Amino acid sequence: MQNSLHIVMAQTSQRVGDLAANMAMMRAVRARHRDADLILFPELQLIGYPPEDLVLKPALSERAAKMLDELAADTADGGPAMLVGSVERDADGLLYNIIALLDGGRVVARRRKHDLPNYGTFDEKRVFAAGPLPDPVLWRGVKLGLPICEDGWLPDVCRHLADAGAELLISVNGSPYEIDKDDRRLTQVFASRVAETGLPLIFLNRIGGQDELVFDGCSFVLNADGSTAHRLPDWQEVEVATHWSRGADCRWHCAPGALATWDAHPADLYAAMVVALRDYVDTNGFPGVVLGMSGGIDSAICAAIAADALGPDRVWCVMLPSRFTSEASLSDAAAAAQMIGARHDIIPIVPAVEAFDQMLAGSFADRDVDITEENVQSRIRGVTLMALSNKFGHMLLTTGNKSEMSVGYATIYGDMAGGYNPLKDAYKTSVFALARWRNENLPRLSKNPVMPVMPDAIITKPPSAELRPDQKDEDSLPSYAELDLMLHGFIEEDLGVDAIVERHGFDRDVVARIERLIAIAEYKRRQAPPGVKLSRRNFGRDRRYPITHGFRTA
């Protein structure tokens, strides 16, 4: 009977669909840990998570099966076994999310994911079939319970594994970041699995950005008494060796290791934005980003995030002043770009605005000047920035926040144009908090360790689109402090007007107006660029509302 185990937790990134790169990375990890007994990798490590409908291509599952056998063949050298996430198609054509144990030159066991999440960002029932309740895997005299992600978030699978004689639970995950989710995983969800089963548990999660999702890692080991033996860092690829021994009571125990400190709020929010943007830009092969630098807080914090993610030499800030742009905005934009060390250009849009005024004069002759002319300015800026993007290859960064996206306070084909938006799921009040934090702190992951990153005047001045004289956001909207409370109730909690009024005491007509604005702006959000998910419920993957509907709670 084996009484000790050396298990390596590989908290790694993945590239969806790039099986060759994922396999090469796993081989490199194994080569670095020849003295280990077992190396663990996150959920679907071979094909990348989440694969979405890409996994429905027969060629992908066929290639995955071939490469899994190749990885298994590597283990014939007498070195460490590997636990690898992949996919499997059965004789009936059903596709499964699996974990495979590779040892001695072959696949010695496979287990299929039983609980398939189908809420929020998850759509697994769309592409996978559910496997049966999995039994433990007997490996080198040890019975391993292998719940795959959601299998560990709910009690049934772990309870079944414990009843079937499992001695150690190993939960491989693809668990995206959300605010406060790191502590919830450890202290609520998986601590409960340990308490219910009396078994020690390894929780392993991936890191890195994948389109609108970002994964924070935050892996850990819990002993059977509920104590934490290891906490792996957030936002970092790490390989951590854990050392296990079987006691006189035949129970496995992990020797204490390092307990990393995870980012507190809002540092975690900022790190999520940096990692998501970095991986989106780099994985898709852009040389850098370009953005409109207005002198306002949204563009200033986006520029700072981009410089931290990519380095300031890959960030191009462009001020596009109109006749309504204030001298303060011009100087603030230039100062912010200089503070982060990014390129800063000025391209006035006045000639283009005048040309459009002349071009449309006949058609608009019997109409008063209104929001149409304001939107023309925004769209001219969008066209100009897209021209720079097309000519030089830089991805256009969009800078609208979640508060604006919620109520449609943005111009479609104007300031909504772009390839990615770091602030898409960040309310305006969060933007203010992030700006204050970044001015006083250096992020761990930064490629631009400077501070502060913007003038205080950008944070303290009233927000304005500057599309007409003396314009302020709060001319059209409630204060952002009040608006964001309403929006959180409507979007994150699905509350109705009366419930929000009762909770906060806001004017009912104002709350009802905000509900209407959220509903009628859905068509804009459908055409918005992707952006990193930060909250429990973002626009797009989490919240899928019809564009056309007539339901209101007021």
Q: Which of 52, 57, 70, 113 is catalytic?
A: 113
Helix (H) or strand (E) holding 208: strand 207-210
Helix (H, G, I), strand (E, B) or coil at 245: strand
**C-alpha 519, offset from chain centre:** 25
Nearest to 167 by CA among 190, 209, 200: 200
Cα–Cα distance, 108 to 138 (Å, whole number): 9
Tokens of 132: 């049966």
Taking a C-beta distance cutoff of 8 angstroms, is the pair 338, 330 a contact? no
Nearest to 401 by CA among 419, 420, 418, 421: 421
Helix (H) or strand (E) holding 407: helix 402-407
> Which three-class secondary structure string do you get for 483-540?
HHHHHHHHHHCCCCHHHHHHHHCCCHHHHHHHHHHHHHCHHHHHCCCCCCCCCCCCEC
Concerning whether 43 is annotated as a catalytic residue, the answer is yes
- 473-477's contacts with Cβ under 8 Å and 24+ in sequence apart are 473/409, 476/409, 477/407, 477/409
Strand partners, 84: 100
Q: Which of 43, 150, 167, 515 is catalytic?
A: 43
CA dist list (Å): 126 to 19, 56, 116, 222, 271 = 22, 10, 9, 33, 31
Cα–Cα distance, 335 to 456 (Å, whole number): 11
Strand partners, 452: none
Cα–Cα distance, 408 to 414 (Å, whole number): 12
Examine residue 266 and say whether the peptide bond preceding it is cis (omega within 30 degrees of 0): yes
Q: What dihedral do alpha carbons 28, 30, 31, 37 form, nearest 10°?
A: 170
Q: Which of 88, 124, 149, 212 is catalytic?
A: 149
Catalytic residues: 43, 113, 149
